[in-house]
Amino acid sequence: MSNVQWFYADAQQQQQGPVAFEQIQQLAASGQIQATTLIWNESMPSWAAASQVQGVFNAGAPPVTAAAPGNPYAAPGSGNPLGAPTVGGSYPIPVVKKVSYPLFLTTFIAGIVLYFVAVGIIFSSVAKTASEMEYPDETASPLETMGDVENLDAQREAAAQQRAEQQAEIVMEEFPIAAIGFGMVGMILLLVAAILGFICIYRAWCCLQPGGARTTPGKAVGFLFIPIFQLYWIFVAYHGWSQDWTRIQASHGNLAGMPRVSPPLFLATLITGFCIIIPILNLIAILAYPILYLIMMAQMHKVVNAMSAASQPR
């Protein structure tokens, strides 16, 4: 029993530990742990009030819970997650780091702008090259019409192929180097934005672990890289998170002042993203998706930062 590690929520609802049970008893004797203080170890299905664990306020009695196999130094959530929901009362605020939405927003928008600037330069160059090329008059003369029609068609086809090859050579020779630079920088910025987005998702799921989250932070991000399966998992990682946060926030009074999120918005954003591959609908989806995506990520960033602020010592 001496190897069992315990965790408790302090007066600011911050997770503390691991500590031995004897220290839990000492904290209870000194008044730092009260009857309503939430405590937990790996053998317990959920956090419980200290008054519900026998031995906390009686130094001579052992706790009623038995040790479960596993790493005694693992934090809640690593074995049997903190993750059994606690309904009502105070929510144990996990310690999470802040995320920067301005940085994410800047890299995302700058990446898209530079990428489309590169595409625009390329199309502009191709159009200019095509307009400057001289094409012979393909109108057949009266004498030509009296000749071999099949031979005339073959000559015209050969001339058209020659012009296409000539145009391709000119485009390659005059290809704008600036387009390559803008395109590469744009793709790098979009990659940075994607990494920042994954960091936000990971920390957002860390915020939910004490409330019975449907998955872990590692799975939430890691499964997004599995081909095919990611088409399903993206709904869990984003929409599922918004549903879990809404449920947890409604169940704990100390989360009432936290930012709210809109599960319908999360779902609409994901569906709009899939519409990009559908003809006709993609014209609207291409314009709507970036806007909805940024709003969705803004809500997720706000929750993470609010939880981070709440977990800091006061």
Judged against a pLDDT cut of 80, whether residue 72 lies above it is answered with: no
Quote the pLDDT of residue 66.
40
For the segment 57-64, the average pLDDT, to the nearest whole number, is: 58
For the segment 170-190, the average pLDDT, to the nearest whole number, is: 76
Distance CA 7, CA 2 (A): 14
Pick from 69-73, 173-177, 279-283: least confident: 69-73
Would you state the structure tokens that stand for residue 293, as one six-digit string?
């995506």
Quick one: fold of 1-80?
A: Dna Ligase; domain 1 (3.30.1490)
> How many other C-beta atoms can be found within 10 angstroms of the C-beta atom of residue 3?
8
What are the distances in angstroms from CA 27 to CA 53, 55, 82, 249, 314? 14, 12, 21, 29, 20
Q: Tell which residue, 142, 169, 134, 136, has the closest CA to residue 155.
A: 136
User: Highest mean pLDDT: which of 127-136, 263-272, 283-292?
Assistant: 263-272
Please, which pLDDT band fits residue 314 given cuts at 50, 70 and 90? Answer: low
Please, which pLDDT band fits residue 171 given cuts at 50, 70 and 90? Answer: low
DSSP labels for the chain?
-TT--EEEE-TTSBEEEEE-HHHHHHHHHHTSS-TT-EEE-TTSSS-EEGGGSTTSS-TTS--S----SS-TTPPTTSSS-TTS---SS---BPP-----HHHHHHHHHHHHHHHHHHHHHHHHHHHHHHHHS-----PPPHHHHTS-HHHHHHHHHHHHHHHHHHHHHHHHHT--HHHHHHHHHHHHHHHHHHHHHHHHHHHHHHTTGGGT-SS-HHHHHHGGGSTTTHHHHHIIIIIIHHHHHHHHHHH-GGGTTSPP--HHHHHHHHHHHHGGGSTTHHHHHHHHHHHHHHHHHHHHHHHHHHHHHHHS--
Q: Please, are residues 97 and 308 in contact by the beta-carbon 8 Å criterion? A: yes
Please, which pLDDT band fits residue 57 given cuts at 50, 70 and 90? Answer: confident
Q: Tell which residue, 127, 4, 160, has the closest CA to residue 74.
A: 4
How many Cα atoms within 13 Å fall on the side-chain side of residue 58? 10
pLDDT, greater one: 288 or 180:
288
Distance CA 146, CA 142 (A): 7
Beta bridge partners of residue 93, listed in sequence order? 14
Q: What is the overall mean pLDDT for the chain?
A: 79
Pick from 3-12, 58-67, 207-216, 223-232: least confident: 58-67
Sign of the alpha-carbon dihedral angle for 213, 9, 17, 202: positive
pLDDT tens-place string over residues 246-258: 999 998 888 989 9
Sign of the alpha-carbon dihedral angle for 302, 306, 311, 314: positive
Domain ranges of the chain: 1-80
Starting at the edge strand that comes first in sequence, how are the strands of the sheet with 38-40 ordered? 15-19, 6-9, 38-40, 48-49
Quote the pLDDT of residue 12.
67
Claim: this prediction has a pTM higher than 0.85? no
Helix axes 101-132, 149-173, angle to 10 degrees: 140
pLDDT, greater one: 107 or 122:
107
Judged against a pLDDT cut of 50, whether residue 305 lies above it is answered with: yes
pLDDT, greater one: 75 or 213:
213
